[in-house]
């Protein structure tokens, strides 16, 4: 959710880039009817100016643009806003271009003629995933900041490096399990490691996920 200058709460601000004015206006009507704020651009230069000067939550890019293609524009956008979800659309759909778009960072790939329900569903899903990713990043930073030094510098003095590392790991893992209610999958996602690696660390410190289950 974002708040506009008028104080209105909207689900997100969407940039739509296409050299077809009819498509721009059609997508604008669809999205605005679902309470999204929409900004349109008909070429790459205008699109990049928008990304550089405004807060954009998601971009919808046509694959075929006047000076290049949507995939190249997506890469330029990601050089400015690396986490921005991008949906590529085209009237010349193919498996090869779809795979290339996704491999290079597109969130999803849609073919024209666009379907209103599918488009809005994919936008909503992309924004929800970004919200979750941002929250995970925030929590991960809070955990590392709070528990990195708390038990290393104690009243008894500064602990040796190996002991300090073990102390940090145990407290860090304990807090992860507390936050996730004993969910190994959730804890692994917050920590940014594989489930198998987390299991090994829990075993190392005799931490049992079931002890942290919420009742």
| 105 φψ region: left (φ > 0), alpha (ψ -120 to 50), beta (else) | left
Per the structure, how many domains does the chain have? 2
Please indicate, yes or no, if residue 201 is contained in any of the structural domains.
yes
pLDDT at 120: 93
Residues 122, 120: Cα–Cα separation, whole Å: 5
Q: Are residues 14 and 103 located together in one domain of the fold?
A: yes
Q: Are residues 19 and 124 located together in one domain of the fold?
A: yes
Among 109-113, 149-153, 194-198, the minimum mean pLDDT is found in 149-153
| Residue in 66, 70, 74, 54 with CA at minimum distance from that of residue 13 | 54
Please indicate, yes or no, if residue 100 is contained in any of the structural domains.
yes
CB atoms within 10 A of CB 76: 13
What residues pair up with 184 in beta bridges, in sequence order?
Answer: none
Q: Between 214 and 5, name the one with better pLDDT.
A: 214
Give 130's pLDDT tier (boundaries 50, 70, 90): confident
Give 140's pLDDT tier (boundaries 50, 70, 90): low
Domain carrying residue 69: 2-131
Domain end residue (candidates: 131, 165, 193): 131
pLDDT at 8: 44
Query: Is 183 in contact with 209 (CB distance < 8 Å)?
Result: yes
Q: Are residues 85 and 160 located together in one domain of the fold?
A: no
pTM of the model: 0.63
- pLDDT one-digit tens code per residue, 87-99: 998 776 566 777 7
Query: Is 46 in contact with 40 (CB distance < 8 Å)?
Result: no
Residues 18, 146: Cα–Cα separation, whole Å: 46
Q: Are residues 198 and 157 located together in one domain of the fold?
A: yes
Give 213's pLDDT tier (boundaries 50, 70, 90): confident
Task: Say which CATH number the domain at 43 has.
Answer: 3.40.50.2300
């Amino acid at each position: 959710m974002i708040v506009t200058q008028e104080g209105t709460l909207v689900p997100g601000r969407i940039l739509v880039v296409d050299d077809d004015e009819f498509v721009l206006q059609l997508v604008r009507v669809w999205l605005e009817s679902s309470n999204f704020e929409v900004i349109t651009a008909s070429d790459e230069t205008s699109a990049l100016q928008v990304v550089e000067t405004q807060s954009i939550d998601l971009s919808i890019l046509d694959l075929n643009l006047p000076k290049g293609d949507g995939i190249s524009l997506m890469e330029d956008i990601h050089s400015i806003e690396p986490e921005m979800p991008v949906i590529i659309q085209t009237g010349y759909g193919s498996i090869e271009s779809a795979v290339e778009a996704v491999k290079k960072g597109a969130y999803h790939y849609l073919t024209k003629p666009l379907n209103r329900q599918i488009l809005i569903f994919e936008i909503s899903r992309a924004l929800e995933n970004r919200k979750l990713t941002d929250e995970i990043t925030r929590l991960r930073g809070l955990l590392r900041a709070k528990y990195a030094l708390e038990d290393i510098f104690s009243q008894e003095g500064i602990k040796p490096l190996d002991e300090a590392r073990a102390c940090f790991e145990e407290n860090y893992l304990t807090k992860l399990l507390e936050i996730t209610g004993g969910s190994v999958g959730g804890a692994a996602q917050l920590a940014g490691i594989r489930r198998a690696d987390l299991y090994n660390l829990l075993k190392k410190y005799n931490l049992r996920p079931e002890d942290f289950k919420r009742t």
